[in-house]
Amino acid sequence: MQEQKLQSLEIHEHVIEAAKRLEMGRREFLQFCTAMAATLGLPAGAEAAVAEAVAVKKRPSVIWLHFQECTGCTESMLRAEHPTIEKLILDVISLDYHETLFAAAGHQIEAAKQAAMKANKGQYLLVVEGAIPTKDGGIYCKVGGKTAIDIVKECATDAAAIIAIGSCASWGGMPSTDPNPTGAVGVNKIIDKPVVTIPGCPPNPYNFLSTVVHFLTFGQLPPVDELGRPKFAYSRLVHENCERRAHFDAGRFAMEFGDEGHRKGYCLYKLGCKGPETYANCPTILFGDAGAGTWPVACGHPCIGCTEQGVGFQKPIHQTAKVMTYAPPASFPRIVEEQGKGASLGAAAVLAAVAGAAAGAGAMVAKNLGLSHAAEEAEKAKQSSEQKPAEKV
């Protein structure tokens, strides 16, 4: 029944218009909506609701702020392919403020932000990229003469929802590592409103897009875990879906970069892979639409745990992970165990000499033990004979 409903949308005029805007065929557009619903873990039939929302509903206004970061989150989003960035910001969302992507600058762009916030009061999405410096009143990051703290609080006041994109905005990320000279923290430490966090360095752009589409479809953000991360993306360990998991279970590990195990694609656990303690969907959603294997572990580098506070940017890369399920024993054999070789004539001669010496030493010890025992018995007999005459008297 639900499949029939989705098929009926194929000839809906709004779907046809939306497909044209996104430069997709009608069926490709519906497939995109179906994939989005599946990514979000929505029940059967939800793909029709997603399609109707994308095609009919007003695009949500998005205010995107930048603070202490490398702009990697935006760069990752720029490389999205389904849809591409220009279709995303022009047809799925209305990106009304973004310092990196705007052609405008200075007072003009700040005026655009204020206008968008006023026109969409209580309805816009606030996206924050980068950590917030708090030391010395937050003077280490200013935009337009205002500190990051003041800007976040101002924009969050009338936002319908707040998304922290990237590890820096989610929990401080790289800027918050020791000694943290600027007092960098995540967005949720600055404002009292709920914050959906999409950690990663960078995060996958489709995790952000899926979150926005969920908001567009249902008027609310997706369910999150205790750290504010959407469950559809951060409820499973990287380790669970890793293509190298079978090697882990079989005890096949790369021990050094470039060794035989590394070349054969064996598990990277002993090289410091943090996949066993990191929750993310990297193995299943991949990166960059470049085909299979486009994520760090598949490319041969251990997961650094960038989506986990206390793991990414804090644990050394080569430190083994805390396995959330079970840890392999340290006594697994190497990939190729060294085999012993036959003894040479010289080695055999030496061994024979050592064995002969040991045998001779053993014989002397036995002889000496026998002599000492005989002497001990003779002494006992002598003492016994000397005591008997005295007993008769």
160 part of a folded domain: yes
In the prediction, which pLDDT does 392 show? 46
User: Which of 7-11, 86-90, 282-286 has the lowest average pLDDT?
Assistant: 7-11
381 part of a folded domain: no
In the prediction, which pLDDT does 169 show? 96
Judge if 11 and 127 occupy the same domain. Answer: no
In the prediction, which pLDDT does 234 show? 94
Judge if 102 and 214 occupy the same domain. Answer: yes
Domain span including residue 27: 1-57
How many domains, the chain?
A: 3
CA distance 220 to 239: 30
pLDDT digits (tens, 9 = 90+) for 246-298: 999 899 999 999 999 999 999 999 999 999 999 999 998 888 766 677 889 99
- pLDDT surpasses 50 at 207: yes
pTM: 0.71
Partners of residue 195 on adjacent β-strands: none
347 part of a folded domain: no
Last residue of a domain, one of 169, 202, 233: 233
342 part of a folded domain: no
pLDDT digits (tens, 9 = 90+) for 49-82: 777 666 666 678 889 999 999 999 998 888 777 6
Share of the chain above pLDDT 90, in %: 45
Judge if 35 and 70 occupy the same domain. Answer: no
Judge if 41 and 74 occupy the same domain. Answer: no
349 part of a folded domain: no
- pLDDT surpasses 70 at 371: no
Identify which of 143, 119, 115 has the alpha carbon closest to the alpha carbon of residue 129. Answer: 143
Judge if 108 and 78 occupy the same domain. Answer: yes
Last residue of a domain, one of 233, 258, 285: 233
CA distance 200 to 224: 16
Bridge-based pairing of strands 146-147 and 184-185 is: unpaired
Distances (CA, A) of 323 to 89, 150, 166, 239, 341: 40, 41, 24, 9, 38
Judge if 82 and 220 occupy the same domain. Answer: yes
In the prediction, which pLDDT does 2 show? 44
CA distance 127 to 241: 29
Angle between helices 205-218 and 46-56 (to 10 degrees): 90
pLDDT digits (tens, 9 = 90+) for 338-360: 666 665 666 666 656 666 666 66
CA distance 244 to 246: 6
Give 4's pLDDT tier (boundaries 50, 70, 90). very low
- pLDDT surpasses 90 at 383: no
Last residue of a domain, one of 289, 312, 337: 337
In the prediction, which pLDDT does 327 show? 62
